Chains A and B, each alone.
Chain A
Amino acid sequence: MKIEKLNTKISATISIAGIALLGACQPASGPSTGTAADFPSKSGSIICPWAPGGGTDRMARFMADQLQKELGKPFVVVNQTGGSGAVGHSAGALAKPDGHTLTMATFELSTMHWMGISDLTWKDYAPVAELNADAAAIMVRSDSPWNSLKDLIGYIEANPGKLTMSGTATGGAWDLARAGFQLEAGIPVDAVRWIPSKGSAPSIVELLGGHIDAVCCSIPEAISQIEAGQLRALVVMSPEKLSGHPDLPTAIDEGVDWSAVGWRGIVAPKGTPPDIVKKISDVCSKIVASAEFEEFMRKNGFATEWKSNEAFAVFLEEQDAQWKDVIEATGYARQ
Chain B
Amino acid sequence: MIADLLQFHVLVPWLLAMLFGIFVGATPGLTATMAVALIVPVSFYMPDPNTGLAMIIGVSFTAIFAGDIPATYLRIPGTPASAAATLDGHELAKQGRGGFALLIDLFCSCIGGLVGVGLLIMIAPQLARFALRFSNFEYFWLAIFGLSMSAVVSSGNTLRGLISAGLGVLLATVGLDVVSGAQRFTFGNAELMSGFGFIPVMIGLFGVSEVIRSVLKSPSMKDSTTKTKRSNDSVGAALKAIWRKKLTVVKSSISGTVIGALPGAGADIAAWAAYGMEQRTSKDKESFGKGAIAGVIAPTSANNAAVGGAWIPALVFGIPGDAVTAIVLGAFMMYEIKPGPLIFQQNPEQVHSIFLIALVTQVLLLPCGYLGLKTFGWILRLPRSVVMVAVLVFSVVGAYSLRNSLFDVYLVAGFGLVGFYLESQKAPLAPLILGLILGPMVEENLRTGLIKTEGDITPFFTRPICAVLVILLVAAFLAPVVSGWMRKKNRA
Contacts and interface: CB of A to CB of B under 8 A. Distances in A.
Nearest to A17: B393
Given A21-B397, A195-B451, A228-B342, A82 B386 contact: no
Contacts of B34: 52
A225 interface: yes
Interface in A1-56: 3-4, 7-8, 10-11, 14-15, 17-18, 21-22, 25, 51-55
A252 interface: no
25 contacts: A7-B383, A18-B394, A22-B400, A53-B33, A53-B327, A54-B326, A55-B330, A61-B41, A82-B191, A82-B194, A82-B403, A83-B191, A83-B194, A117-B176, A171-B181, A193-B451, A196-B444, A196-B451, A198-B178, A201-B326, A202-B263, A204-B319, A209-B132, A211-B136, A300-B333
Interface string A44-80: 0000000111110110010000000000000000111
Interface stretch (A84-92, A131-139, A143-151, A282-290): A84-92
B313 interface: yes
Interface in A289-335: 299-301, 332
A230 B340 CA distance: 11
A224 B342 contact: yes
A81 interface: yes
Interface in B322-381: 323, 326-327, 330, 333-334, 336, 338-342
B37 interface: yes
B401 interface: yes
B327 A52 contact: yes
B135 interface: yes
B37 A115 contact: no
B430 to A, nearest CB: 25
B401 A18 contact: no
Contact of B181 (A3, A227, A332): A332
Interface string B445-463: 0001001101000000000
Contacts, number: 169
A97 to B, nearest CB: 20
Interface of A: 3-4, 7-8, 10-11, 14-15, 17-18, 21-22, 25, 51-55, 57-58, 61, 78-84, 86-87, 90, 115-118, 161, 164, 169-171, 193, 195-198, 201-202, 204-206, 208-212, 223-225, 227-228, 230, 299-301, 332
B317 interface: yes
A230 B132 CA distance: 13
B266 to A, nearest CB: 13
Contact of A53 (B222, B318, B326, B389): B326
Contact of B134 (A15, A51, A209): A209
Contact of A169 (B181, B320, B330, B389): B181
A205 B313 contact: yes
Given A21-B397, A170-B178, A228-B340, A211 B263 contact: no
Nearest to B34: A52
B401 A25 contact: yes
Given A15-B389, A15-B393, A84-B193, A205 B263 contact: yes
Given A58-B330, A193-B451, A87 B191 contact: yes
Contact of B317 (A52, A61, A225, A332): A225
Top 8 A-B pairs, shortest CB-CB distance: A224-B340, A53-B327, A83-B193, A18-B393, A228-B341, A82-B194, A52-B37, A209-B132
B385 A11 contact: yes
B317 A4 contact: no
A225 B317 CA distance: 7
B190 A224 contact: no
Contacts of B7: none
Contact of B448 (A61, A195, A209): A195
A201 B319 contact: yes
B396 interface: yes
B40 interface: yes
A53 B132 contact: no
A51 B36 CA distance: 13
Contacts of B183: 116-117
A196 B179 contact: yes
Nearest to A168: B178
A205 B319 contact: yes
A299 B397 contact: no
A195 B452 contact: yes
A10 B386 contact: yes
Q: Among the interface residues B132, B386, B394, B403, which one has the most CB atoms of the partner chain A within 10 A?
A: B403
B126 interface: no
A83 B176 contact: yes
Given A83-B194, A209-B134, A227 B340 contact: yes
A87 B194 contact: yes
B125 interface: no
Contacts of B339: 224
A87 B333 contact: no
Nearest to A79: B403
